Structure 1
Amino acid sequence: MRHYKRIERGVGGYIAGRYRCAVEVGIGNNPDAARVIAAAGGLLLCTDIRPGIRHDGLTVVTDDIFEPDARLYAGADLLYAVRPGVEMVPPLIALAARINCDLLVYHLGCEIYGDGGDVVDCGPALLHRYHRRRS
């Protein structure tokens, strides 16, 4: 698991250096990327479908990506997910398009959705950009 924590911190560093208002979807029990982004001042909030998830210093709200409350994501310039189920990617893409923000996903292993989107090398891992913000 230590290897994944290094990857998650690398993902967080990449995002923190490029975005000013990010939302992590499906934080679960893995706050490492969000902590890095929050420390840089670039994290709006984190969501998860399970109620009651708490991580010190992070705002975590309950939301279902399959029926999202778009108001929660207002102002975000990035949605991102760390190792989501591949079935979550289509609703993530739809939400990113709806609120007009980028979408980055770090997949577990060889999982990808569709054509994999644009591949982004963030250092310790590859991210997949499935949606780009329109100007």
Structure 2
Amino acid sequence: MCHYKRIERSIGEYIAGRYRRVVEVGIGNNPEAARMIAAAGALMRCTDIRPGIRHAGLTVVADDIFEPEIGLYAGADLIYAVRPGVEMVPPLIALAGRVNSDLLIYHLGCEIYGDGGELVDCGPVLLHCYHRRLP
């Protein structure tokens, strides 16, 4: 479990240092990255398909990435997900395109989608950028 927290801290530090309006998709029971981003003042909200998820100091909203409420993501310069199911990646890419945001994914193990997108080195882990926002 400690290893996962180090991964999430690395992801949180990377994102907090580069983005100003961020949404995490699928927060579940792993709020470490979101907390770091929130501490930097860059977290808009977190989403998860399961209603009722609560993490102190974070705004968590129930939303289904397969039928997303676009307003929850509008204005984000980054949407990210930590260890999402690979079936979630296509709707995440579509969503990032609709709201014109970057999309970063940290995959579980060696699981990737398609060509893996652009690799982003954030220290001890690699993120996959599947969409870049237009200027």
Equivalent residue number for residue 133 of structure 2: 133
Equivalent residue number for residue 76 of structure 1: 76
Q: Which amino acid aligns with 2:53?
A: I
Distance 1:29 1:86 in 2: 19
Distance 1:71 1:11 in 2: 25
Equivalent residue number for residue 15 of structure 1: 15
Q: Which amino acid aligns with 2:101?
A: C
Distance 2:117 2:65 in 1: 19
Matched, 1:51 2:51: yes
Distance 1:64 1:11 in 2: 23
Distance 1:119 1:63 in 2: 27
Matches within 5 A, 1:93-104: 93-104=93-104
Q: Which amino acid aligns with 2:36?
A: V
User: TM-score scaled by structure 1?
Assistant: 0.99
Q: Secondary structure at the match of 2:113?
A: coil
Equivalent residue number for residue 123 of structure 2: 123
* CA shift for structure 1 position 74: 1.2
Give me the CA root mean square deviation.
0.4
Identical positions, percent:
80
Q: Secondary structure at the match of 1:5?
A: helix
Equivalent residue number for residue 27 of structure 1: 27
Equivalent residue number for residue 37 of structure 1: 37
* CA shift for structure 1 position 124: 1.7
Runs of 4+ that moved beyond 4 A: none
* Structure 1 alignment gaps of length 5 or more: none
- How many residue pairs align between the two structures? 135
